[in-house]
């Protein structure tokens, strides 16, 4: 009787496993399936990790926190994010030092609408573990100036204090970077070319504050939208202009109809590609 029971149990487990619907599948840059633990073991060796998310994707945010916790067991971490702007660093530091509570943080830091569900856990991890958390992005009003007021020359009007919150001027710019060209193509010829300069101002500034805060024997883990690091462009293009020898890895997040094989268009998108279902719920 016991053997029959075990046999039936194995059959049940087999079909349960066979018919399971995984929340995500992880691939390497070549489109081969890999595991979270294998990814972590490789990322431990890096100076810089760019974790590219889909901003409203819960799998991205869950794995960001899980990766941070795993790396924090062995590596000295520095955290940073696109979602916080450089002129808000003082407010972040006060929160990290327990000098500012959640309510008052809202008054000093421009928080994204999904902050409480998606980014607060990362900031709280930094606070609870005495880790720096760097606000890397250009203040959005300055990126808007680039787009609406004539490109990079609009930044020349900033005060010396304001210029501390952006990448040092002038910063390099290549309009032929494929991801920048793709932005213009989305507008089907009706887009203002300065829109990709605004994008470049974000990428250059994030790269600047990442490099400024790198430390020996530390790993900088940066959270950003996938578009800012896909295909090793965006932030990484600027990083490599200044530090071509840096040991880095990138992660991207994509949605697909089926998870059993990485779509060809995503092969080579990043060192690791998180794939979840098109029907995955969103955080906003």
Average the pLDDT over 82-98 and give the result: 97
Q: What count of residues does the chain have?
A: 284
Q: Residue 109 is encoded by which pair of tokens?
A: 């830091």
Average the pLDDT over 35-55 and give the result: 98
Q: Looking up tokens 């609406």, which residue turns up?
A: 148
- According to the model, what pLDDT value does residue 5 have? 43
Q: Identify whether the C-beta of residue 208 lies closer than 8 Å to the C-beta of residue 137.
A: no
Selected residue with higher pLDDT from 12 and 170: 170
Average the pLDDT over 193-211 and give the result: 97
Confidence check: pLDDT of 12 > 80: no
CA neighbor of 203 nearest in space, from 268, 266, 119, 146? 146
Average the pLDDT over 4-15 and give the result: 48
Selected residue with higher pLDDT from 62 and 103: 62
Question: What is the CATH code for 44-261?
Answer: 3.40.50.11550
Q: What is the pLDDT of residues 218-274, one digit of tens each?
A: 999 999 999 999 999 999 999 999 999 999 999 999 999 999 999 999 999 999 999
The domain segmentation of the chain, as residue ranges, is 44-261
The rounded distance, in Å, linking the Cα atoms of 62 and 112 is 17
The secondary element (H helix, E strand) that includes residue 208 is helix 194-213
Q: Looking up tokens 């059993």, which residue turns up?
A: 260
pLDDT more than 90, % of the chain: 86
- According to the model, what pLDDT value does residue 254 have? 98
Q: What is the DSSP letter of 187?
A: T
271, HSE (Cβ side, Cα atoms, 13 Å): 17
The pTM (predicted TM-score) of the whole model is 0.92
Rg, Å, the chain Cα set: 21
The secondary element (H helix, E strand) that includes residue 277 is strand 272-277
- According to the model, what pLDDT value does residue 80 have? 98
Q: Identify whether the C-beta of residue 259 lies closer than 8 Å to the C-beta of residue 24.
A: yes
Q: What is the pLDDT of residues 93-135, one digit of tens each?
A: 999 999 999 889 999 999 999 999 999 999 999 999 999 999 9
- Judged by DSSP in three states, 284 sits in coil
- Judged by DSSP in three states, 267 sits in coil
Q: Identify whether the C-beta of residue 255 lies closer than 8 Å to the C-beta of residue 54.
A: yes
156, HSE (Cβ side, Cα atoms, 13 Å): 7
- According to the model, what pLDDT value does residue 17 have? 46
Q: Identify whether the C-beta of residue 25 lies closer than 8 Å to the C-beta of residue 258.
A: no
Confidence check: pLDDT of 51 > 90: yes
Average the pLDDT over 204-221 and give the result: 98
The rounded distance, in Å, linking the Cα atoms of 80 and 193 is 29
Q: Residue 230 is encoded by which pair of tokens?
A: 């896909």
Bridge-partner residues for 277, per DSSP? 256
Q: Looking up tokens 């290549």, which residue turns up?
A: 174
């Amino acid at each position: 009787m016991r053997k029959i029971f075990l046999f039936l149990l194995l059959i049940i487990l087999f079909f349960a496993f066979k018919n399971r619907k995984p929340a995500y599948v992880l691939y390497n840059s070549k489109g081969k399936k890999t595991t979270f633990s294998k990814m972590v073991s490789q990322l431990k060796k890096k100076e810089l990790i760019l974790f590219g998310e889909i901003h409203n994707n819960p799998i991205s945010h869950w794995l960001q926190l899980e990766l941070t916790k795993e790396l924090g067991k062995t590596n000295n971490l520095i955290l940073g994010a696109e979602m916080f702007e450089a002129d808000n660093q003082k407010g972040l530091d006060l929160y990290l030092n327990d000098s500012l509570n959640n309510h008052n943080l809202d008054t000093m830091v421009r928080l994204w609408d999904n902050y409480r569900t998606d980014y607060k856990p990362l900031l709280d991890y930094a606070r609870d573990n005495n880790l720096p958390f760097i606000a890397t992005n250009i203040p959005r009003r300055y990126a808007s100036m680039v787009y609406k007021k004539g490109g990079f020359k609009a930044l020349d009007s900033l005060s010396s204090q304001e210029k501390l919150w952006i990448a040092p001027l002038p910063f390099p710019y290549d309009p032929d970077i494929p991801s920048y060209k793709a932005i213009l193509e989305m507008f089907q010829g009706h887009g203002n070319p300065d829109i990709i300069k605004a994008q470049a101002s974000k990428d250059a500034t994030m790269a600047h504050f990442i490099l400024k805060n790198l430390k020996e024997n530390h790993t900088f883990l940066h959270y950003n939208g996938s578009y800012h690091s896909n295909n090793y462009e965006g932030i990484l293009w600027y990083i490599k202009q200044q530090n071509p020898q840096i040991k880095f890895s990138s992660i991207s997040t994509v949605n697909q109809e089926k998870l059993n094989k990485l779509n060809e268009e995503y092969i080579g998108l990043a060192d690791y590609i998180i794939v979840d279902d098109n029907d995955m719920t969103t955080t906003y």
